[in-house]
């Protein structure tokens, strides 16, 4: 897999520090907090702030590695670029790229499940799986027609998502000031069968889904003004703002409702929190905000997955057919069909509590990718560049790799076996496509040599 820059005009550098901050914040906010807080409560109990704080710590350490690498190599290729430069192993680079693509599909499928299982039910009572499948098909059509996403539109959607979370926090503050809520729940940690530590790590592994998205911002580096200067501040502030919001929402949810009630509500938990803290607040208003949050998350992830598959086909590491572009719409229609079909398959086979399973698989895939990025940061310390850039503290890449690997390994993190089954199935499909492509290229090379020898 080659990672050399392509010839032609450079991208326009139109993104300043404020737009970049909102891009990071908007990428992190979304399905994770809007749909998973009930599942996290089921893992740990009332101390909801703890797994979100721990997930923020792991994300922050990994973000420092990303900042060092994006400063050294300010190009829009992300984890695949860093893996290739560090290890020079095309198959490993392919696995990283396919894992990132797969995480986009599982994230989109989790958002689709949340769409059908919780927020839409405030308006109509339709069965979850058909609604989620129809939701993904509709987004696939939008993706095919071509979506001109801009960071300015992202600011608007981020404001909507942010507004919804601030409503939850404000309702919590009002309810507590009125004498409602039980502060003793904030320290309630319920040990699982594996003990207290396994309960915390299992909840952290799941809550990590709410902190992902910041890594997508590295793909905007070629469109940022002075990225070496503005990137560190925007990325770290965006992550910190998201973590603060998540902590406040977790505090509010735990104060107002017992953990068992939140866990029973599953992806409907935030709606239950709003109803408990402010019975007179229009349920459908908050449900509409939740719908916009999950729609935005799903569409962004489907766009990313289809374009990444298209890029891998153009690199020659997947069958060329995935790189086909529709003549009138100018979109990668085969890649869109394939990724949409995979996302539909994930929703259709997820079974009960699909948000938890698919969100957990997303976190698992990205934890594996982040382990590689942290290791790549360590390896590439030996490769100096001729310009100034951010440098992470010496110990953080090693700690980041250890933490991400720990939360991804079976048996240590308390992660359910279903997450590994879904992740390995997706990666196995990728390896199969890679092998078929190599066989096809080998056959074509043999045919060409045979013609030349005649």
pLDDT value at residue 14: 63
Q: How many CB atoms lie within 10 A of CB 280?
A: 5
Lowest mean pLDDT among 203-207, 231-235, 355-359: 231-235
Q: How many CA atoms lie within 13 A of 92 on its CB side?
A: 16
Q: How many CA atoms lie within 13 A of 354 on its CB side?
A: 26
pLDDT value at residue 150: 47
- 105 within 8 A of 98, measured Cβ to Cβ: no
Q: How many CB atoms lie within 10 A of CB 300?
A: 23
pLDDT at 223 exceeding the cut of 80: no
* Percent of the chain residues topping a pLDDT of 70: 90
pLDDT value at residue 158: 78
8, with CB counted inside 10 A (0-12, 13-18, 19+), is: exposed
What span, in angstroms and rounded, lies between the C-alpha atoms of 433 and 373? 24
**What distance, in Å, lies between the first and last C-alpha atoms of the chain?**
32
pLDDT at 10 exceeding the cut of 50: no
Closest to 342 measured CA to CA, from 408, 415, 407, 432 = 432
- Average pLDDT of 16-34? 84
What span, in angstroms and rounded, lies between the C-alpha atoms of 69 and 369? 14
What span, in angstroms and rounded, lies between the C-alpha atoms of 282 and 25? 26
- Average pLDDT of 396-405? 97
Q: Kindly list the distances between the CA atom of residue 236 and the CA atoms of 53, 251, 257, in Å, as whole numbers in the listed order.
A: 15, 22, 31
pLDDT in tens, 59-91: 999 999 999 998 888 765 578 889 989 999 989
pLDDT at 302 exceeding the cut of 80: yes
- 146 within 8 A of 251, measured Cβ to Cβ: no
pLDDT value at residue 29: 87
- Average pLDDT of 239-259? 94
Which position has the higher pLDDT, 152 or 104? Answer: 104
* Residue showing tokens 């459908």: 284
Give the fold, CATH level 3, of 17-440: Amino acid/polyamine transporter I (1.20.1740)
pLDDT at 284 exceeding the cut of 90: yes
pLDDT value at residue 60: 95
* Percent of the chain residues topping a pLDDT of 90: 54
pLDDT value at residue 76: 55
pLDDT at 345 exceeding the cut of 50: yes
- Average pLDDT of 134-153? 76
Mean pLDDT of the chain: 87
At 40, list the tokens.
């996290």
What span, in angstroms and rounded, lies between the C-alpha atoms of 226 and 399? 29
- Average pLDDT of 51-59? 95
Which position has the higher pLDDT, 363 or 414? Answer: 363
pLDDT value at residue 194: 74
Going by pLDDT thresholds of 50, 70 and 90, the confidence category of residue 6 is very low
pLDDT value at residue 447: 47
pLDDT at 305 exceeding the cut of 60: yes
pLDDT value at residue 412: 78
Largest CA distance in the chain: 90
- Average pLDDT of 92-100? 93
Closest to 187 measured CA to CA, from 229, 250, 127 = 250
What span, in angstroms and rounded, lies between the C-alpha atoms of 198 and 192? 7
| Angle between helix 417-453 and helix 90-117 axes, rounded to 10 deg | 130
pLDDT value at residue 73: 82
Most confident of 69-78, 138-147, 276-285, 296-305: 276-285
pLDDT value at residue 144: 87
Which position has the higher pLDDT, 222 or 410? Answer: 410
- Average pLDDT of 177-183? 87
pLDDT value at residue 13: 65
pLDDT at 444 exceeding the cut of 70: no
Please write down the HEC assignment for all residues of the chain. Answer: CCCCCCCCCCCCCCECHHHHHHHHHHHHCCHHHHHHHHHHHHHHCCCCHHHHHHHHHHHHHHHHHHHHHHHHCCCCCCHHHHHHHHHCCHHHHHHHHHHHHHHHHHHHHHHHHHHHHCHHHHCCCCCHHHHHHHHHHHHHHHHHHCCCCCHHHHHHHHHHHHHHHHHHHHHHHHHHHCCCCCHHHHHCCCCECCEHHHHHHHHHHHHHHHHCCHHHHHHHHHHECCHHHHHHHHHHHHHHHHHHHHHHHHHHHHHHCCHHHHHHHHHHHHHHHHHHHCCCCCHHHHHHHHHHHHHHHHHHHHHHHHHHHHHHHHCCCCCHHHHCCCCCCCCCHHHHHHHHHHHHHHHHHCCCCHHHHHHHHHHHHHHHHHHHHHHHHHHHHHCCCCCCCCCCCCCHHHHHHHHHHHHHCCCCCCCCHHHHHHHHHHHHHHHHHHHHHHHHHHHHHHHHHHHHHC
pLDDT value at residue 148: 53
């Amino acid at each position: 897999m080659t990672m050399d820059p392509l010839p032609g005009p450079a991208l326009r550098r139109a993104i300043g520090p404020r737009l970049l901050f909102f891009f990071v914040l908007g990428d992190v906010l979304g399905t994770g907090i809007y749909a998973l807080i009930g599942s996290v409560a089921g893992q740990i109990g009332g101390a909801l702030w703890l797994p979100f704080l721990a997930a923020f710590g792991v994300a922050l350490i990994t973000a420092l590695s990303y900042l060092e690498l994006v400063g050294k190599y300010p190009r829009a290729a992300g984890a695949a670029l860093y893996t290739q430069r560090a290890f020079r192993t095309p198959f490993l680079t392919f696995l990283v790229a396919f894992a990132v693509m797969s995480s986009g599909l599982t994230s989109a499928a989790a958002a689709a499940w949340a769409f059908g299982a919780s927020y839409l039910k405030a308006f109509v009572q339709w069965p979850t799986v058909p609604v989620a499948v129809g939701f993904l098909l509709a987004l696939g059509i939008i993706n095919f027609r071509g979506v001109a996403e801009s960071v300015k539109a992202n600011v608007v959607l981020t404001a909507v998502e942010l507004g919804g979370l601030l409503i939850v926090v404000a309702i919590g503050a009002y309810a507590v000031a009125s004498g409602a809520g039980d502060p003793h729940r904030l320290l309630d940690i319920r040990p699982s069968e594996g003990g207290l530590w396994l309960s915390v790590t299992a909840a952290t592994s799941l809550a990590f889904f709410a902190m992902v998205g910041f890594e997508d911002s590295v793909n905007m580096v070629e469109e940022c003004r002075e990225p070496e200067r503005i990137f560190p501040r925007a990325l770290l502030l965006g992550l910190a703002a998201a973590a603060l919001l998540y902590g406040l929402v977790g505090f509010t949810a735990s104060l107002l409702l017992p953990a068992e009630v939140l866990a029973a509500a599953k992806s409907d938990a935030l709606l239950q929190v709003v109803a408990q803290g402010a019975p007179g607040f229009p349920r459908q208003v908050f449900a509409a905000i939740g719908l916009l949050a999950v729609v935005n998350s799903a569409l962004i992830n489907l766009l990313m997955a289809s374009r990444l598959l298209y890029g891998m086909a153009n690199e020659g590491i997947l069958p060329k057919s995935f790189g086909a572009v529709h003549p009138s719409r100018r979109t990668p229609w085969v890649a869109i069909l394939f990724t949409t079909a995979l996302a539909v398959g994930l929703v259709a086979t997820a079974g009960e509590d699909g948000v938890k399973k698919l969100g957990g698989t997303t976190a698992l895939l990205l934890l594996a990718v982040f382990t590689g990025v942290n290791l790549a940061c360590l390896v590439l310390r030996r490769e100096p560049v001729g310009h100034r850039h951010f440098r992470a503290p010496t110990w953080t890449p090693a700690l980041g790799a250890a933490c991400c690997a720990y939360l991804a390994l079976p048996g240590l993190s308390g992660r359910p076996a279903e997450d590994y089954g879904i992740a390995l199935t997706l990666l196995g499909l990728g390896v199969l496509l890679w092998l078929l492509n190599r066989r096809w290229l080998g056959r074509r090379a043999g045919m060409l040599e045979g013609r030349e020898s005649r």
